[in-house]
Each structure stands twice: as C-alpha cells, then as structure tokens.
C-alpha cells in the first residue's frame, strides 16, 4: 500500500473513531433508561474487555499504567452517566469537550508548562461558551447539576490527558486493555444489576464492542499514519458528530443560546489546538 493510501486510511480510521465516540451520548441515554450508571459502566466495560483478553500480556508497567488511567476513566464516565439522566446528549458532548482547553491550563499549573496567548484566548472563549450553553432564557442563571457533573467529567479526562505523557506508555493496546478491566472492577461493588435487560442488549453491545473496543483499535491504527496534531483536530469534532447524531436520530435541539455556546466551545477547541500546534512548531517538536 502506498504512503498516500496509508495516510488516507489513517484519516478514515480517526474520523470513524470520532464519529463512534459522538454516538455514545445518545445510546448511553437509552441504556440509562434500563440500568443505573454503575451497572451500565460495569456491563459496558466487562463486554468491551472480553475481546481484548487474547491480546493481554502480563507486564507490570502496563498493568500499573492501566490502573492509574482507570481511576480517571471511571470518574469521568460515572459523572457523565449520572449527568446524562438529567441533560440532553448534545449539551453533555459539548461540555465534556472542555477537556481540550482545560488540558493546557492543567499542564501550566501542574507541569509549569507555558502556554501561548492563542491558547489563553481559546480558554476564555470556552468559558463564555459554557455560560451560554448553561443559560436558559427567561430564567435566573444557574449551572444545572447535570452540567456541573459533565464539567467534573471533563476535568477527569483533563487529568488523564496530562497524566498519559508522564507515564511513558510502552504498549498502548495492553495498557488500554488493563484500563478497561480495572474500570469494570471499580464499578463492581456499586453494581445493582447483574443481568442485562433484554431491551438494552443491542445498544449496550454497540457501546461496548464498537464505541469502546473497536475505537481503541481504530485509534491505534489511525495514529500510525496521522500526526498527533491532526488527530487532535479530528477528535475536536466529536461534539459536532454527537450534536448531529442526536438531532437526526432523536430530534434533539439546543436553544439559541445553547447553539451559540456550543459553537463557542467548538471554536475554543480549535483555537487551543492551533495554539498548541504553533508552540510545538516553534519549539521544533
């Protein structure tokens, strides 16, 4: 296969990954009509773990890396699932994407990494976007519990994004498998349903096998031939896919302020990615 064909395939893999991620919010809301958040997390990650068993290698470092990442993963998902019982899928998707502008901020505070003015502008825009997304015309301004929980989810993902480079992961697939396994274990003590309701089986299998297990493989394959910067730009479109999928499948719509907030959050992600790219290029990395 030619280099150009490999690059094209890499883009297709990453776009597919982003699309599948975007669909999870609608399907998660459907599953949460049948299962409580902890039971949903348990079953989704147990099912996702099963196809990875043949590829697991017993390596202490991969196990420890997966263990630490599973903590942030479990926190991000539980808060997200609880939030989805109170807010719509599109709002949830845009708020959780705030992890993009939050990541360089945490790197600055934790790792003392300097950030550019473009990144700072993107972060300011993201705050305005979040406030607009949370505003309901005619009502006293307040941040709903669902929006707050999604913000916690975004913060958990932010910690995970900053943590990953410090771990110096050696085997992405093996580490991901351990992360999935440990995530299922974290939810086990709080699981209330040890059987899967018939009405939830299809979306649960999709979420576990396609949106979790398959996307790991697609991401790994795609990033072999696509730069991290380009991949980050593609991933920034996740809430756009989520919004469109929710609109065309279940008829979700945002208010005028909600649409403005969503647009600002999306633009903030692009600004931050551009600022990070310019800084990386200036540093010769």
**162-175 confidence digits (pLDDT tens):** 999 899 999 999 99
Confidence (pLDDT) at 277? 85
Across the range 229-245, mean pLDDT stands at 92
Confidence (pLDDT) at 266? 96
> Is residue 275 domain-resident?
no
> Is residue 262 domain-resident?
no
> Is residue 229 domain-resident?
yes
> Is residue 264 domain-resident?
no
pLDDT tier at 229, thresholds 50, 70, 90: confident
pLDDT tier at 114, thresholds 50, 70, 90: confident
Domains: count for the chain: 1
Instruction: Find the Cα–Cα–Cα–Cα dihedral 69, 233, 213, 8, rounded to 10°.
Output: -140
> Is residue 128 domain-resident?
no
Quote the tokens at residue 75.
């926190």
Quote the tokens at residue 251.
């008829």
Q: Is 217 exposed, middle or buried (0-12, 13-18, 19+ CB in 10 A)?
A: middle
Q: Give percent of the chain above pLDDT 70.
A: 97
**Single pTM value for the model:** 0.92
Across the range 62-73, mean pLDDT stands at 96
User: Which residues, including other chains, have CB under 8 Å from residue 269's CB and lie 6 or more apart?
Assistant: 97, 100, 101, 122, 126, 236
Q: For residues 211 and 24, what is the distance between their CA atoms, to the nearest angstrom?
A: 7
> Is residue 196 domain-resident?
yes
Confidence (pLDDT) at 137? 78
> Is residue 241 domain-resident?
yes
In this structure, are residues 203 and 30 in contact, taking their beta carbons and an 8 Å threshold? yes
Quote the tokens at residue 17.
């990954």
> Is residue 96 domain-resident?
yes
In this structure, are residues 18 and 238 in contact, taking their beta carbons and an 8 Å threshold? yes
Range of the domain at 84: 3-100+145-252
């Amino acid at each position: 296969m030619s280099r150009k064909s490999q690059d094209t395939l890499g883009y297709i893999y990453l776009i597919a990954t982003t699309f599948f991620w975007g669909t999870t919010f609608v399907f998660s809301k459907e599953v949460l009509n049948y299962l409580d958040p902890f039971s949903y997390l348990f079953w989704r990650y147990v099912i996702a773990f099963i196809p990875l068993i043949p590829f697991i290698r017993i390596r202490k470092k991969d196990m420890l890396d997966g263990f630490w990442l599973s903590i942030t993963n479990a926190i991000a998902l539980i808060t997200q699932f609880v939030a989805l019982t109170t807010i719509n899928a599109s709002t949830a998707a845009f708020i959780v994407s705030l992890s993009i502008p939050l990541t360089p901020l945490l790197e600055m505070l934790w790792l003392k990494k300097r950030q550019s003015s473009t990144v700072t502008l993107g972060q300011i825009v993201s705050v305005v976007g979040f406030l607009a997304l949370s505003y309901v015309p005619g009502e006293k301004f307040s941040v709903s519990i669902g929006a707050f929980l999604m913000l916690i989810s975004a913060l958990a993902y932010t910690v995970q994004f900053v943590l990953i480079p410090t771990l110096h992961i050696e085997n992405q697939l093996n580490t991901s498998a351990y992360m999935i396994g440990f995530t299922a274990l974290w939810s086990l003590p709080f699981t209330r349903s040890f059987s899967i309701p018939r009405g939830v089986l299809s979306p649960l299998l999709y979420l576990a096998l396609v949106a979790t297990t398959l996307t790991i493989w697609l991401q790994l394959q795609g990033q072999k031939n696509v730069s991290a910067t380009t991949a980050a730009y593609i991933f920034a479109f996740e809430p756009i896919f989520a919004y469109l999928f929710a609109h065309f499948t279940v008829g979700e719509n945002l208010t005028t302020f909600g649409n403005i907030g969503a647009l600002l959050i999306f633009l903030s992600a692009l600004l931050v990615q551009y600022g990070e790219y310019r800084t990386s290029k200036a540093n010769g990395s």
